[in-house]
Structure 1
Amino acid sequence: MPHRITIARYRGDGPVGPVYWPPGDPVAALVSETVRTVRDRTGAEVTSTAQIIASPGLDCPAQSRITLPSGRVTTALHISPHTAPGLPVPQSTEVFCE
């Protein structure tokens, strides 16, 4: 994976807005900053301006803040684990970002 991203994992809502864990160590990923229409965690159609492919088991809850290799900070809209037990394809986690 040629890129590195940093994730500040979403903890929940506090009295003044969203609360995040401190950013973790950089994570290897493949980042594509393209515009696509996707569905968020509520099922609403939204525009994703970045898509990330990372190793399986990536800990990135929806609404987490992600710093992309370009330095842009975005928010995770939807996380999709891809597994195919018994098939000769790689497992991964795909993250669609705001």
Structure 2
Amino acid sequence: MRRVPRKVLRHRLTVEPYQGSSSVGDVYRPAEIVRCLLDESTQQVTTPGGENVTSSSSYIAWPDHQPPLNSRVTLPDGRKTKVIKVGRVNAVGLPVPNNTQVFLQ
């Protein structure tokens, strides 16, 4: 399986994987630093529930990165946002590396 070359993943984000809700609010697992390529362009995406929403940014990372929906993400400039959609690119037989694309609120 080909992966995105490390040198392409120029950005680092902090991702706190969503674990669920409790009586006091959302619960997250410990934060992890993720190497990625960040795209801060606005685009329309369809969530897994079929809702059309606007994504403020997205990023690609290695294919083993699969954050749960609603995970909290801190961008390089300090802004916080949440994961609204995760897609996996499996490019078997094509000259494109496998990766995960994550869309943010």
Q: TM-score, normalised by structure 2?
A: 0.87
Question: 2:78, 2:50 → 1: CA distance?
Answer: 28
Q: Secondary structure at the match of 2:48?
A: coil
What is the CA distance between 1:47 and its match in structure 2? 0.6
Structure 1 runs of 4+ aligned residues shifted over 4 Å read: none
Aligned counterpart in structure 2 of residue 62 of structure 1, from 53, 62, 69: 69
Aligned-residue offset at 1:64: 0.1
Q: How many percent identity over aligned positions?
A: 40
Partner residue in 1 for 2:14: 6
Listed one character per residue, the Cα deviations across residues 10-58 of structure 1 (whole Å, up to 9, x for unaligned) are: 001111222111212x111011111111011211000100111111110
Per-residue deviation at 1:69? 1.1
**For structure 1, which runs of at least 5 residues remain unmatched after alignment?**
none
Structure-2 separation of matches of 1:39 and 1:17: 26
Return the offset for 1:59: 3.0
Alignment coverage as a number of residue pairs = 97
The alignment's C-alpha RMSD in Å is 1.0
